[in-house]
Structure formats: structure tokens, C-alpha cells
Chains A and B, each alone.
Chain A
Amino acid sequence: MRSWTGRIGAAIVIVLVLVAAIGPLVAPYSPTAIVGIPYQAPSGRFLLGTDSLGRDVLSRVLYGGRTVIGLASVATLMAYLVGVTIGLIAGYRRGLTDATLMRAMDVVIAFPPILLLLVLATGAGANALVLVIGVAITHVPGIARVVRAATLDVSVRGYVEAAAARGERSGFILGREILPNISSTILADVGIRLSGSILLVASVNYLGLGLRPPTADWALMISENREALTTQPPAVVVPALLIAALTIAVNLVADAVARSFGTSVEERGVAR
């Protein structure tokens, strides 16, 4: 990663992940403990003041990154597991399998995302798993399409044909011959998708369809405390800034990664 913006992004991501990871160890209070009266201004005791219930904002901020970062990452990972599998199979098998899988993806895309999340959240209960599944599902069709296109491309390459000619199992061909060679295509938009997941997780939590109070979560903090925007700004602004910083940073990294893949592709193009 050569660009300075990418490096700044990476630095921010690392810092925020560290905050999320070790934050709970250094938090002065329990994130759910009521330690004061609501909406106290920052003071020596509460560095960022208190929130709507009189909990310590700093402690909740330190705890609240886990859910955003963790859930978004897990959701993105899950989306890739499913999407890559579907895309690989569709692209390699072609024909009817391909058509069926891709039409299924069309159906998923056409299913309004809010409805999906609403039904999941209300039907299966609002918990982390449901949130992760819901967010993952929204990514799957996109990933499957990209992977399918790349697979279509790679599956006619000589080495794949050679593997087929010597009678390798499909699993080997997909996993060992094709997958490693489409990984850069796949990785190129991981960052974008991750930041999309973060935004979606945050929005869903904000709408009350995701995690529920009293979980300490940056997005939830914004919605819980947003009425104190003018009276106790840190309770809203700090988590909002952290989410924005996180997504901006992830996007910066994603941009740089995509660009580095992009240039290497270009260079390959020129060299030929």
C-alpha cells in the first residue's frame, strides 16, 4: 500500500480496532452501570460525561466498538463465504446451475433490504446473529456476481482445463485452481463491503432493528442520546465521529487496496 491516504486509513483502523479490543480493559466503569445522573457534562469523574441513563459515556464508547467492528466483520466474512461459494459454483458449472443460482440472487436483491431486516429482526428476535445474517444476506448477491464473472473468466484458463483433463475433483478445481486466482478480484472490494456493513449495522441499530439497549454500541449510543445533541454533545458526537472515522478509514484502506490491485493489473496489461 503505497498511498499516504491508505496508510492514514490503516493507522486509524488499527487504532479503532485497538480501542475496541482493549477498551473494555481500561474502561473506568461498567458500560451498563448507572454511575451518575443523566446527561452530566464532562468532568474529571466522567471524562465524556454521562448518557441518557447516567452511564459513563467514555466507558460505553470504549465498549461500544466491539459490536460495530465485530458484527460488521463477521457479517462481511459470512457474506463472502456464502457469496464466493455460490459464485464459484455458478461460474464453473455454468448452464442450468448458473442460471438457477443467479436468478436466486436476483430474488435476494429484489427483496427489499429493510423488509428483510424487519422480518428477521421482528421474526427471529433482535440479536447479534440475526443482525449478522441480515447484513450478510444483503451482500451475498453482489459478491456472488463478481465471483461468478471472475470464475467464468478463469475457468477457461489452461491450468483449469489441464486440471479438468487430468480428472481432478470439482472441489480441488474450485478451491485450489480457481479460488487463489480470483482472490485479488474478491479482495479488491472487501474494504468497500466492510464499510458498507459498518454503515448498515449502524443504521439498523439506529432504527432499532438490530441490537437493543442496554448494549453499548456506538450506533445505539447515537440514537439513545441524540436528543442531548445540544446539551451533552459528547454522548452523541463521540460515537458518531468514531463511526465516521471508522468507515472513512476503512474506505481509505479499501481505496488504496483496490488501487494497488488496479495498478498491478495495469502493469500486467502493459507488460504483455
Chain B
Amino acid sequence: MSEPAVRAEGLRVELLSGTPIVEDLDLSIARGQTLGLVGESGSGKTTVALALLGYRRAGVKIAGGRVTIAGETMVPRVEREVRRLRGRLVSYVPQEPGMALNPSMRVGEQLRAMLRFHAPSRQAGPALREALEWVELPSDEQFLRRFPHQLSGGQQQRVAIAIALICRPVVAVLDEPTTGLDVLVQAGLLAGVRRLREESRLTMVYVSHDLAVVASIADRIAVMYAGRVVEEGPTAELIRAPRHPYTRGLIEAVPDPAKPRRLQGIPGVAMGVGGRLPGCPFAPRCSQRVPHCDRELPALEPSGAERLVRCFEWKRTPPLVRLPPQLARLERDASRVLLEAEDLAASHRGRRERVTAAAGVSFAIERGESVALVGESGSGKTTIARCIAGLHRPDAGRILLDGASLAPLAAQRSVESRRRIQIVFQNPYDSLNPRHTIGDAIARPARLLRGLSRAAAPGEVASALERVRLPAGIASRYPPELSGGERQRVAIARALAAEPDLLICDEVTSALDVSVQAAVLELIADLRTTLGLSVLFISHDLGVVACVCDRVIVLRDGVVREQGPAGRVLAHPSDPYTIQLVSAAPAIARGDEDTDGYAMPATPASP
């Protein structure tokens, strides 16, 4: 074990313009070990992962440093030579297998092509079987003859992993292999990867933005921020006692379904490419910053056995603390019902057949109550929300607001009822019109639905922005100039400008980084209490739900499986499907308690 499986020294990757993306990155992974690489979006994880294979994306160059894999130099080396090593010495599993598998090649063919090219002497049949077994996929001809689009997302990812493993590489780099998959599917895939780690001598680099996921897989974790590793250490220790304030902030921000508590976001926004200042890039968001931090970049230094940290003041990093749990809600009271859905049925007309998205769904939302709608992808959450907002015509059933039936489509509803129900959408990048200023976007509902005069608009905009804790100056800017979190706040401000009674939040945080997510969730929780809003909160993330909701409705295939108080449903689920969901939700074994991670159900992804 003299030569580590992966060694990177002083790796530097830049844009062609010379702006650095990744700087002085050193990594060393012993054979058979798994390194988890975590960090928020844009921190340079994928860039590093690709550089380990000597690969760079268009518009980017590897400007310096060395990478060796099992003694073979990958960087610097000419493309022709390094390419022959990819796939056989080190292989890569991409984030979105749906995009990365050749759409016009059958699964079997894609696997065989690897063999034919890298190991022509090996027998294709057994090799295929071996690789597919590792990822728990069938290896019969019928399966091999499928095209990628004929596989589910989880299967696609397993195929991608099988392709990466078929030539028995020394190192596999997995770049967010579970991001975008459903919790149940993700759990199954993670279990598979874990088994692989235990049963083979494969060295892995596991890249993810999700600390909980990485914690369940990796032997060691490296945390990246703004293109640099800020902390590295053995998984358990790093999670229990983070030394870098950023690592600590990340852990604090991860919601936990089993033990709900208030979340705490990291203030500010993550640093992007460019505009990096001479000092510590985390300094602007740091709570233990000293003047020195702004001037000089700390080095990545050992801080005890096997631990490295890049902070001058790491000794001052406070230990993790248990935050107060979410306040329990008042008892139910039928007279306080705001909105009611009665036997709601909805479907989508597909190309030929109808897809049922809701079948006989009934529930009620009380004034000031926060109700969560959870369920895996495609269970009909969004459709129900759109029915309530008048964007989708239900097939049957009624929606009652204060006991009065609402017209199916928004255009037919009264101005008043349109005002009282507001919706915020999932994707922060398309929830605001990029061609309208923030001010216009916020003022529009107020003017249309509340008849606000043109003159009164700026004042209204300012107060709306203040409510979502954004500076008033932002009103004249356009959405593309805003970060994802800021945009979601603006979207919320826009909804609030109508002074609604019910706010529907459809996965408002799922596209956001954890630190930002925490801040947005905090905001919603605050607004509820200060404005007495009712919230219909849609999410697939039980942790998030646990933090902000009073009641949970579990949905599957358009049918309500279980509903009840959040505490009870999440802690003591009764429906088998809910049980599965809850146990599949990743959670972190924090230093402040004594759980050992979470159980992994052995449910393979349904085809």
C-alpha cells in the first residue's frame, strides 16, 4: 500500500480566460477507500472529478498540478494516451445517466463496446453478467436489448455504473449518482454502492452535494468551498465535530425527518467563479471571521490525526448544538377550515391514454395551518396544487374556499378568490420572468388583485421585499442577476404581495443548496407565524417537511395513503408505503446525538 490509488497534487483548473475554478487541490486516496467530495453547487466538485480522469470540459483548461491513478500519470499527459486509460484504469459515472447514455445504442451494446475496446480478450458474456450483478440488474438478453429510454432513472444509473465497472478499473469516480432520483430509488442505489465498496477492492470518489448521502458511503470526506478543499477527515469524526465553520454550517442546515428542529442557514451566498478575493473565500459568510481572514488565504493544515482544515480560527468553531424542535400546533378545529378538497380527481391526457394524477383526494387546510403533501415523483402532488390554484381543470370533485365552491379555472374565479390563493413554484430559475424587474414582478399581483395604484406600488414592493429579508434596492434588478435562493424569496414576496390566505409552495427548496434551503424554510416558518398564513407545502423531502409542517398527507399514485400530524406520521408511520418513505430518507448521525446513521431498506428500484 505504498502508492495511493489516487493522488492529486496542486491541481489547478481554470477557465480559458485564466479565472480559476479549482485551485491548489491535493487529494490522496488509499486503495479500496472511498472519498466523499461534498460542497454546494458551483464549488468545483465535478471539475475535480473530471480532472481525475485527465478530462476537462469545453471552455476550461487544466492549468497545473499532477494527478496519478495507481501510479499512472493522468495529468499532465497528452489526450491520446490518457484516453486509453479511461474506462480501464479509472472510470466515471455521470450525474445524469439519462443524458449520458447513448440514446441510439442498446444497453448490451454499450457494455460490449467497452469490453471490445478496452479488453478484447475477455469473454463478453461472463463479464457482462458480472458487471450487471454488481449493480443488481438482470443480464438476460431481453434486458440487454433495451434502449436507455426504456429504463427507469434508477436502472439507467445502474447501467452507467455497470459500464464504469465492466473493465474492472482501479478507481471509479461517481459524480452525484443519486441526485435527481426518488428517495426510494436513491436508497436502493446507495445500498448497492455500499455493498460494492465492501465486496470489491474498488477505490471510489463519491461526489455529492448531500452531506447525509456522502456520510453514509464514504470513509473520508473532503468538503469543498469555492474551488478549494476546506476540510478533510474521516467521515464519523468530521460529521461529529466539524472544524471548519462552513462544514459546521452545512451540517446544521441538513434537515432531519426523525428529529425535526429549526434549521439554520448559512447567511450569504456561495462564491461563484470569478470575483474571488485574496482572503478566505468563506470570510464574508463566516461568523468567526477575524480581520486577518480578509487579507490572507489560510492553508489546508493538519488539525489532529488524519484531519485537515483550512481556517485560521478553527479552534473557535463551536461544537454542534441541539436546536429547539418545531413548535407543535394547536388542536384541530373544524370551524377554522380555510380550504377543502373534496373527492378531487384529476388526470393528464397523455398521447393516447389518460394518466391519473389524483383519484378521490380529500383533505382540509385550516387557517394558519401548514400542511405537507409528500410522495414520490409522479404521485400527483403538483397536479393537486395546480388544481387548487386553478391551473388545471379537475375531472371531478370540488375545491371549497371558506365553504364556497371555487370555479375550476383561475380565469373563471373571482378576483378575490384568486387573491386569496397564491402559489410558488419549484424551479427558482423559471418562477420569475427574466424580462421583468423584480419590482414589476412583485407589484403586478398587488395591482391586479388588490387594485393597488401605480403610485403605491414602490412602497408595497419595498415592504414585500423587507418581509422576505431582501434589500429594497433589488427591486430594479432582473432575475438573472439573482441567486436561486434570492429568486425563491422574490417569488414568495410576489405571492405575499397579494396578501393571500393560502400559500402553496411546490417544492420551493428542492433546487436550492442546503444552506440556502434552510434560510428559505426559516423564512416560510416565520411568515406563517407573523402573517397567520396557511401553507400547503409540497415536497418529496421528509426532512424538510418535518421542519415546517403541522400535518402531513402522504400521496401515492394520486391516492392519499395516510394523513395526520407530522410528528406522528413521520415518527410512527402506519401505512407500509409511508414506512418505506421514512426509512429511506437519508439523515445524518450528528455529533449531538447518538443515532448511527439510518437503516437501509433493501428495496431495489422498481423497473
Contact = CB atoms under 8 A, between A and B. Distances in A.
A162 B410 contact: no
A161 B435 contact: no
B432 A165 contact: no
A166 B448 CA distance: 8
Interface in A16-75: none
Interface stretch (B121-129, B423-431, B581-589): B423-431
Interface in B402-441: 410-411, 413, 415, 418-419, 421-423, 425-427, 429-436, 441
A161 B391 CA distance: 7
Contacts of A165: 389-391, 410, 418, 421-423
A181 B419 CA distance: 26
Contacts of B433: 159, 177, 180-181
A149 B391 CA distance: 21
Contacts of A168: 448
B449 interface: yes
B411 to A, nearest CB: 6
Interface string A90-121: 00000000000000000000000000000000
B278 interface: no
A247 to B, nearest CB: 31
Interface string B494-512: 1000100000000000000
A164 B449 contact: no
A141 to B, nearest CB: 24
Nearest to A178: B433
A167 interface: yes
A157 B422 CA distance: 16
B57 interface: yes
Nearest to B421: A165
**Contact residue range for chain B?**
35 or more
Contacts of A167: 410-411, 413, 415, 418, 448-449
A272 B391 CA distance: 28
Interface in B40-74: 42, 57, 59
B13 to A, nearest CB: 14
A159 B495 CA distance: 11
Given A158-B430, A159-B430, A166 B435 contact: no
A165 B449 CA distance: 11
A157 B429 CA distance: 9
Contacts of B449: 166-167
A157 B431 CA distance: 7
B491 interface: yes
Chain A contact residues: helix, strand, loop or mixed: helix
Contact of B429 (A162, A176, A270, A272): A272
Contact of B430 (A157, A164, A176, A270): A157
Contacts of B436: 159, 176
A158 B426 contact: yes
Contacts of A162: 423, 425, 431, 491, 494
A94 to B, nearest CB: 10
Contacts of B445: 166
Nearest to B409: A164
Nearest to A180: B435
A10 B433 CA distance: 31
B410 A164 contact: yes
Interface in B422-475: 422-423, 425-427, 429-436, 441, 444-445, 448-449
Interface in A144-165: 157-159, 161-162, 164-165
Given A157-B430, A159-B431, A166 B498 contact: yes
Interface in A250-272: 270-272
Contacts of A181: 433-435
Given A161-B391, A165-B390, A165-B391, A270 B425 contact: no
Contacts of A180: 433, 435
Contacts of B391: 161, 164-165
Contact of B432 (A158, A164, A166, A176): A158
A159 B413 contact: no
Interface centre among A157, A159, A271 (most CB of B within 10 A): A159
B495 to A, nearest CB: 8
Given A162-B423, A164-B411, A270 B435 contact: no
A257 B430 CA distance: 24
Nearest to B425: A158
A165 B429 CA distance: 18
A215 B448 CA distance: 54
Nearest to A177: B433
Nearest to B390: A165
Contacts of B426: 158
B153 to A, nearest CB: 19
A164 B411 CA distance: 7
A158 B427 contact: yes
Nearest to B414: A167
A133 B449 CA distance: 43
A158 B422 CA distance: 12
A6 B426 CA distance: 39
Contacts of A157: 427, 430-431
Contacts of A176: 436
A170 to B, nearest CB: 9
18 contacts: A159-B433, A159-B436, A161-B425, A162-B425, A162-B431, A162-B491, A162-B494, A165-B391, A166-B419, A166-B422, A166-B444, A167-B411, A167-B415, A167-B448, A176-B436, A180-B435, A181-B434, A181-B435
Closest 4 CB pairs of A and B: A158-B425, A158-B431, A180-B435, A157-B430
Interface of B: 42, 57, 59, 386, 389-391, 410-411, 413, 415, 418-419, 421-423, 425-427, 429-436, 441, 444-445, 448-449, 491, 494, 498
Interface of A: 157-159, 161-162, 164-168, 176-177, 180-181, 270-272
Given A158-B430, A166-B419, A167-B413, 9 more contacts: A159-B431, A159-B432, A161-B425, A164-B391, A165-B418, A167-B415, A180-B433, A181-B433, A270-B59
